Amino acid sequence: MPIKIDRINKITSNIGKASILILGDIMLDEYLHGVVSRISPEAPVPVVEINHEQLRLGGSANVASNIAALGNKPCLLGVIGEDDAAVKLTQLLKQKGISPDYLVNDKNRRTTIKTRVIANSQQVVRADREDTFEVDGETEKRIFGRFQSLIDNIGGVIISDYGKGLITASLLDKIIPLCREKNVFVGVDPKETHFFNYKRVSVVTPNHHEAGFVAGHRIKNDNDLQQVGKMLLEKLQADSILITRGEKGMALFIKGGGIDYFPTVAKKVFDVTGAGDTVIAAFVSAVAAGADLKEAAIVSNCAAGVVVGEIGTAAVTLPELTHELKEHFANGEE
């Protein structure tokens, strides 16, 4: 599906002018890089000799990083603990130009840390340190208060749900009607267990595994895909559903419309970690820049094609995105 050059120029020139509110589960991603040269004598497991450590923003913080990389202003709203990980995460946010001012500290929960051991460019194991119980009423009240204070000055909302306890049914019951009242675009990167709580939003972006699971219908072919997409669109009463399909690209279902398919543009795939964060960030950024839903899907597909070619969570910059759009989709017409 081509886009005219003037539309690409129009959309990309407007990206970077909006504030995007990201509400979701914030994580700290820790990477331990090394090499394997022997097997442990204690157990039949590889011994990884660590030679490099790295900290990155994860979860909804990675969504915010993607928003910042595109030039927009991310307003990151979420919960962290009162621990060393929270300090490190706050420092990382500041380095990325993301304000930590909207974060809520909760002394009763740990900041989520995901530690990945990478050996010879392959992930060997992941260790998670986290609390996943739902936030209490007082914390939820503080979160909603900050959401209300921001809503009038933002160009879109992203709900980034990793099932770590922030995105509760009661919080969604307050946030989604407020966004519809204010005519604010809402994109949701969903968690399967909460899926049918995201009713009447602008777009939901599950991958094909998540979509098939919640629909109770495994997606094996295009016919399955169509059935699942249409069913979810109807049950959620959403404006659109964007199902990401890995190496097969994406499929967009629009309320009152048809289905559009977008083949992948990835040249190589090293790691899909955080690709969903890039998809939702690029999609909402494109809409905030004046793109329609089909154009936004093309933009997010291009953005995802860039980040899966890198190891770990990554973010696409606006120049990279613009180049990819013109290389793959421009039809040369002004």
Average pLDDT, the chain: 91
Burial of 323 (0-12, 13-18, 19+ CB in 10 A): middle
pTM above 0.85? yes
- 277 catalytic? Reply is yes
Q: Give 201's pLDDT tier (boundaries 50, 70, 90).
A: very high
Give the model's pLDDT for residue 261.
Answer: 92
Give the model's pLDDT for residue 271.
Answer: 45
Determine which one of 106, 161, 189, 277 is catalytic.
277
Beta-strand pair 259-262/26-39:
unpaired
Give the model's pLDDT for residue 1.
Answer: 64
Which residues are CB-neighbours of 298 under 8 A, at least 6 positions away? 1, 3, 262, 325, 329
Read off the DSSP letter of residue 177. H
316 or 157: which carries more pLDDT confidence? 157
Between 293-307 and 5-14, two packed helices, what is the crossing angle to 10 degrees? Answer: 80
Give the model's pLDDT for residue 275.
Answer: 78
Range in 85-99, 208-222, 264-278 the model is least confident about: 264-278
Identify which of 273, 253, 296, 245 has the alpha carbon closest to the alpha carbon of residue 7: 296
Beta-strand pair 122-129/112-119:
antiparallel
> Domains of the chain, with CATH numbers?
5-27+58-94+132-328 (3.40.1190.20)
